[in-house]
Copies of this chain bind each other. A is one copy, B any other.
């Protein structure tokens, strides 16, 4: 177990690094993708030390990565009777992973962004002058876009099915009067 054949190890590292790149691209640390991949390919619950050995990481780094992966729900801790160490395994349901991550990420920002855009629109609504009118119009458009995008993503996650047909229209429609609430 602690000595995978050199070939298998090489393949694992290759795949791990590729997935690391994707994952980094979507805003996570490379190492999270690498650790997950090694667990996923291994298919067998694996102790932390093994991961550190394969990926040449310190025990501390492995621990931190595993903690974060568990927070995202993409790695599980497995208890083995009679074993002192903990074992870890990758979540294999890709959909579960995607929806969980999307969900959490969206929730983090959605509220504050909406709030700030609404506040900005309110200020502009109170302001005077041609400049303010134009800015208000644009701010409302921005707000509308953010709301549409959030709703669409949300629907996608909830149903695994979404029709984006009107999405394109909604986000590029010529600006008319997108009235939101008044101040």
Residues of A within 8 A of B (CB): 4-5, 7-8, 10-12, 14-15, 17-19, 21-22, 25-27, 37, 40-45, 80, 83, 92-96, 98, 105, 109, 112-113, 116-117, 119-121, 123-124, 126-127, 129, 131-132, 134-135, 137-139, 142, 145-146, 156, 160-165, 167-168, 171-172, 175, 178, 180-181, 183
Offer 16 A-B interface pairs, CB within 8 angstroms, sorted by A. A11-B120, A12-B120, A14-B119, A15-B116, A15-B139, A17-B116, A18-B113, A18-B116, A19-B142, A22-B146, A37-B142, A41-B139, A80-B183, A94-B171, A161-B164, A163-B163
B160 touching A164 by the CB < 8 A rule?
A: yes
A11 touches B124 (CB 8 A): yes
**8 interchain residue pairs of minimum CB distance:** A160-B168, A94-B171, A18-B116, A11-B123, A15-B120, A95-B172, A11-B120, A14-B120
Q: What's the number of copies of this chain in the assembled complex?
A: 2
Which residues on the B side are within 8 Å of A7 (C-beta)?
123-124, 126-127, 132
